[in-house]
Amino acid sequence: MATGREIDVLSEHFAAAPATFTTSPLYRALCPVVAGDRSTLELLTGRRPGQQASYLFFGAAHYLLLAGVAHPLRDFYPSLVGSSAAEPADAGPVLRDFCRRYRTELGELVRTRLVQTNVVRRAVALRYALWAIGQRCADPVHLVEVGSSAGIHLHVDRYRYLLGDRVFGPADATVSLDSRWLGRTPPPDLDDVPLIASRTGVDLNPVDVTDERARRWLRALVWPENQDAATLLHAALDAVATEPPAVVAGDAVRVCRDLGRGLPPGEPRVVFHAATRMHVPADRRVAFDRAIDSIGDGGPLYHVWQEPPSAPHGGHAADPRGELAMHGPDGVVVPLLRVDGHLRWLGPLDPAD
Ligand SMILES: C[S@@+](CC[C@H](N)C(=O)[O-])C[C@H]1O[C@@H](n2cnc3c(N)ncnc32)[C@H](O)[C@@H]1O
């Protein structure tokens, strides 16, 4: 039974959540509706520990609509009806009705699913970090992504990157990522990156990219207005499906030590995580950081992260604007870039550069 305090915390979360849905007028309009809907908030108390409630809830509703549920709520989703979508401001009562009618289905999804949004453009953050690592280390690296979801970023060396007026990556890539470069000077040479000697993901729930329902869940987590991100997601999932990377199933806290031991001793390893530490329950984050550090027991560790300011790497005061940061074997944190959460843009830390 949910406590009044739990419901209050969830209500406050939804009341504050419009600020995070920067590119979704629909979700911004619906957040206050959920904040005031006690019955839906009660459903959300059944979610798995650490899962961000608004991403999970909107993902669940979108999933049902994408699966073909016939309800007038679908008329508000550009992902379903394109540019004829109805005004977000009118969606509140329709959402409340949807939640009443599909309470069982929504409850099942929020209890069992995880926020696994695989944001393809975040590969450019990893690509930049690999360039920075290449400036410090000439050897091939073993790449580990913690919280890899479908494993899209593990193919970081197989995509084409359009950044400012420069292009990087193989010319025959089937996936092209475009991000805005905010620097006054051009980005560095992102073709100058270390070779990837091996690639391994770690996830609580590795996503089978050939499973239609698993793909639909990933699509549902893309906000309904972001059709370009959805198109990119489909292209990347198809690319990953041709050669799915190995992903170890389990909690990073439990599996990282053994994974590190399995890598060739003395060889450099890069651990990357994006939007993952933020979903680790607060009381597990120190253990999460230690588990990642343990991968460095067998060889030089380069640890790269892109997490929101609410969940920075332990002990590091994150830049509130959002950043990509790393540390090498000496443990000294090096902020690398300012980044948009979905990597629609990235740029030097100093806007004058
Ligand atoms: C929001 S998704 C981000 C996926 C990917 N890193 C990206 O940026 O596109 C977070 C992923 O982390 C995984 N995850 C969360 N906590 C984890 C943990 N303790 N150990 C392993 N994976 C975890 C989730 O299952 C999910 O796939």
Q: How far apart are CA 218 and CA 222, in angstroms?
A: 7
User: Which residue CA neighbors atom 13 of ligand 1 most closely?
Assistant: 147
Q: Is the CB of 122 under 6 A from ligand 1?
A: yes
* CB neighbourhood size of 249 (10 A): 11
Q: Write the pLDDT tens digit of every residue in 140-167.
A: 999 999 999 999 999 999 999 999 899 9
Residue with tokens 């972001």, as numbered in its chain: 226
Contact (CB, 8 A) for 146 and 295: no
**pLDDT single digits (tens) 246-271:** 999 999 999 999 999 999 999 999 99
The reply to whether ligand 1 has any atom less than 6 angstroms from the CB of 279 is: yes
- Tokens, residue 69: 């549920």
- 323 pocket-lining for ligand 1 (C-beta < 6 Å): no
pLDDT surpasses 80 at 293: yes
- Ligand 1 centre from 252 Cα, in Å? 9
Residue 124 neighbours by CB under 8 Å, 6+ apart: 161, 163, 177, 179, 343, 346
Cβ–ligand 1 contact at 108 (below 6 Å): no
Q: Which atom of ligand 1 lies nearest, measured to the CA of 115?
A: 1
Question: With bands split at pLDDT 50, 70 and 90, how would you rate the model's confidence at 315?
Answer: low
Mean per-residue pLDDT for 53-69? 98
Protein residue with least CA distance to atom 12, ligand 1? 147
Rounded to an integer, what distance in angstroms lies between the CA atom of residue 113 and that of residue 48? 8
Query: Do the beta carbons of residue 194 and residue 130 sit within 8 Å?
Result: yes
* Ligand 1 pocket residue status of 311, Cβ below 6 Å: no
DSSP tag of 349? S
Identity (one letter) of the amino acid at 16?
Answer: A
306 lines ligand 1 (CB under 6 A): no
For residue 312, pLDDT over 70 is answered with: no
Question: For residue 134, which of 181, 168, 173 has the smallest C-alpha distance?
Answer: 168
